[in-house]
Amino acid sequence: MELGVSVQPYERIYLLRIPQRILDEILEHARREYPVEACGVLLGSIAGGVGTASRAVPLRNLLASSKAFWFDVREWMQVIIDSRREGLEYIGLYHTHARDEPLPSLSDRHRMLEAPGEIWLILALRPGREPKMAAYRIDDYGSSIMRVPVEVF
Ligand SMILES: [Zn+2]
């Protein structure tokens, strides 16, 4: 990305598995920030096309916006470097929407193009409603966004 360093997952991910415990942490982060979008890094292991998250690390949304997010790229990079020392792999990003549907926004789509192979997990959160989530991946310029199934365990 901006730093010119490749931090893509080393293997294509076709299924995202996420423990309920991690999901609860993300939802708690989302509720703390609401309606500002909460964002962070998803880490874990990748094998046989399956990404299994075992940690979610919050990043500060520098835009402090309810319509978009972005973070300090150095902070993001540091999280990935630190986690690699612990044997965790970079799966991608999570962020939240204070809207009804977890659909990538136009700016999400632009960012995804800069990060081929990354999983983007989006959680749509509105008070009094059941949160909805979806994960996506884009493989390279010119390819369309693919929905990646999510399995909670
Ligand atoms: Zn978004």
- Detail the DSSP E strand segments found in 14-118: 15-18, 39-47, 50-59, 89-97
Tokens coding 142: 């010119």
Q: Is residue 3 predicted with pLDDT exceeding 90?
A: no
Q: How many other CB atoms sit within 10 Å of the CB of residue 14?
A: 13
Domain that holds residue 81: 15-152
pTM to 2 decimal places: 0.92
How many whole angstroms from 123 Cα to the centroid of ligand 1?
9
The reported pLDDT for the residue numbered 6 is: 55
- Single out the residue of 124, 107, 120 nearest to residue 146, CA to CA: 120
The reported pLDDT for the residue numbered 143 is: 76
The reported pLDDT for the residue numbered 27 is: 95
- Single out the residue of 31, 87, 20, 82 nearest to residue 57, CA to CA: 82
Q: How far apart are CA 74 and CA 131, in angstroms?
A: 30
* 42: region left, alpha or beta (phi > 0 left; psi from -120 to 50 alpha): beta
Span 52-70, average pLDDT: 95
At 111-126, the pLDDT tens digits run 898 888 899 999 999 9
How many whole angstroms from 64 Cα to the centroid of ligand 1?
13
Tell whether 10 is covered by a domain.
Answer: no
| CATH classification of the domain holding 131 | 3.40.140.10
At 119-150, the pLDDT tens digits run 999 999 998 899 999 999 998 777 789 999 99
Q: How many domains does the chain have?
A: 1
